[in-house]
A and B are shown apart, each in its own frame.
Chain A
């Protein structure tokens, strides 16, 4: 099995790749994990992971800058319906529109927008940084063996908002209730960083690897 961690110049890809390797070892599955932006390699992959750090806008344009990457990702996700996991801004990019610094188009795979977290006039500090409990709102393979109210590591100032309530898998509370995991057919995403969430995070990555095997 081949997994591609999509490299478009965003942040800490090695951690994601290493955590996936460790997760694969934990469940005795053989995966070849590549950190790549090469459309050819991505097309041949069985699953992909889309990380993301920095702003929605920078990430979106980071993808556009690489020839063929946008089309390849759309083909992989929409036509081939192969599994994708988006992490942090990687998940946010699933939305139709992002409003960080300027209005920016996203992939639009899930009907939603990405807006700044309402910090209640400074009562809540931004970024939302650190360990927060997640509330599971529906059954999802990604959270199998994860207890409700487990802690995950977050670091973000913008949140994914969607009217497609059936896509929301988990929420957290930070002033308001914030969507922190989404699922739609072959698409899953987490606002938190599984690759930084110690044991619980590795379980989530294991679940992603085991999915649709």
Chain B
């Protein structure tokens, strides 16, 4: 049986982890490779790097980070943040990323998802969708890290992305992100039921029960979380044990 995936996410800026594991005994908490190794040892099912480097000239640093991580960790690696062109995707894949997530550019450049899926295969193209609730049963796409409204209906958008060849949807609720109140389960369930590609729930996890809800109620295939893992509050193992005890299929 295919297991639900638990995916920790690390924010990386100029090659340094700015939001990640904050254990006291870490020699260099800013080193992405060290952090990746910890999650690898804890049995994370995948690892996600979000590159939040602001300036273009520092963008290539992420390639070095990915390369070094892929040399040490033999687990699936998804990289997102600032991906705009086929060249960006190619470079990340060559550096060792298994999947590349496209956010703003998927909205602004209609053909990018289609062209990249044709060129590199759907399996490595993740579309990251940042959605905000605008009224009952209606969500809108936001870009630029959730700052810019687009007027695009989120549900229509994910259907279109699937048709364009996206292999997976990384769905973040902008209303819940950072709140620790749990996923937007309505949104997650609607998107999961709508598309026939895997959906990763993201945004708002504050405890392990939220992970269960994302899978059981939101019907997500994978759950992404950042802060609950960063401070050693919970390990990936804790999360899996909890889910297993609630009857959710996970890889122990």
CB of A157 within 8 A of CB of B122, answer: yes
Q: Mark B57-72, 1 if CB is under 8 A from A, else 0.
A: 0000000000100110
Q: B196 contacts which chain A residues (CB < 8 A)?
A: 119, 122, 125-126
- A113→B233 CA distance, assembly (Å): 49
CB of B93 within 8 A of CB of A12, answer: yes
The closest CB in chain B to the CB of A11 belongs to: B93
The segment from B21-29, B94-102, B128-136, B141-149 found at the interface with A is B94-102
CB of B120 within 8 A of CB of A53, answer: yes
Chain A interface helix/strand/loop/mixed: mixed
Taking the nearest CB of chain A, how far is it from the CB of B44, in angstroms?
Answer: 9
Contacts A15-B98, A127-B167 known; A198 to B121 CB distance under 8 Å? no
Q: A157 contacts which chain B residues (CB < 8 A)?
A: 122-123
CB of B74 within 8 A of CB of A11, answer: no
CB of A201 within 8 A of CB of B3, answer: no
Q: B98 contacts which chain A residues (CB < 8 A)?
A: 12, 15, 155, 196
CB of B2 within 8 A of CB of A174, answer: yes
Contacts A54-B121, A125-B197 known; A173 to B74 CB distance under 8 Å? no
Contacts A14-B96, A53-B121 known; A130 to B198 CB distance under 8 Å? yes
Taking the nearest CB of chain A, how far is it from the CB of B121, in angstroms?
Answer: 3
| Given A55-B121, A125-B198, A131-B45, 15 additional A-B pairs, CB 8 A | A12-B93, A14-B67, A14-B95, A15-B74, A15-B96, A126-B197, A127-B123, A127-B168, A129-B123, A129-B168, A131-B5, A155-B98, A156-B123, A173-B1, A202-B74
Q: B198 contacts which chain A residues (CB < 8 A)?
A: 125, 127, 129-130
- A22→B95 CA distance, assembly (Å): 18
Q: B95 contacts which chain A residues (CB < 8 A)?
A: 14
The closest CB in chain A to the CB of B252 belongs to: A151
Interfacial residues of chain A within 9-34, with CB under 8 A of chain B in the complex: 11-12, 14-15, 18-19, 22
Q: Mark B151-188, 1 if CB is under 8 A from A, else 0.
A: 00000000000000001100000000000000000000
In this assembly, does A128 line the interface, its C-beta being within 8 Å of a C-beta of chain B?
yes
CB of A127 within 8 A of CB of B96, answer: no
9 closest A-B pairs by beta carbon, nearest first, are A54-B121, A131-B251, A151-B251, A132-B2, A155-B123, A131-B3, A18-B71, A130-B5, A122-B196
In this assembly, does A206 line the interface, its C-beta being within 8 Å of a C-beta of chain B?
no
CB of B74 within 8 A of CB of A130, answer: no
Chain B interface helix/strand/loop/mixed: loop
- A128→B1 CA distance, assembly (Å): 11
Taking the nearest CB of chain A, how far is it from the CB of B92, in angstroms?
Answer: 10
Q: A53 contacts which chain B residues (CB < 8 A)?
A: 120-121, 123-124
Q: B3 contacts which chain A residues (CB < 8 A)?
A: 130-132, 151
In this assembly, does B75 line the interface, its C-beta being within 8 Å of a C-beta of chain A?
yes
In this assembly, does A153 line the interface, its C-beta being within 8 Å of a C-beta of chain B?
yes
Taking the nearest CB of chain A, how far is it from the CB of B248, in angstroms?
Answer: 13
Interfacial residues of chain B within 10-59, with CB under 8 A of chain A in the complex: 40, 43, 45-46
Contacts A126-B197, A127-B122 known; A18 to B45 CB distance under 8 Å? no
Q: B67 contacts which chain A residues (CB < 8 A)?
A: 14
In this assembly, does A133 line the interface, its C-beta being within 8 Å of a C-beta of chain B?
yes
- A18→B95 CA distance, assembly (Å): 12
In this assembly, does B222 line the interface, its C-beta being within 8 Å of a C-beta of chain A?
yes
In this assembly, does A186 line the interface, its C-beta being within 8 Å of a C-beta of chain B?
no
In this assembly, does A197 line the interface, its C-beta being within 8 Å of a C-beta of chain B?
yes
CB of A130 within 8 A of CB of B120, answer: no
- A12→B167 CA distance, assembly (Å): 17
- A133→B46 CA distance, assembly (Å): 16
- A69→B46 CA distance, assembly (Å): 34
- A155→B160 CA distance, assembly (Å): 22
Q: A159 contacts which chain B residues (CB < 8 A)?
A: none
Taking the nearest CB of chain B, how far is it from the CB of A82, in angstroms?
Answer: 25
Query: Could you name 19 residue pairs across A and B whose Cβ atoms are closer than 8 Å?
Result: A11-B124, A14-B94, A14-B95, A15-B74, A53-B123, A54-B123, A55-B121, A125-B196, A125-B221, A126-B196, A127-B123, A130-B3, A130-B5, A130-B45, A131-B5, A133-B1, A153-B75, A155-B123, A157-B122
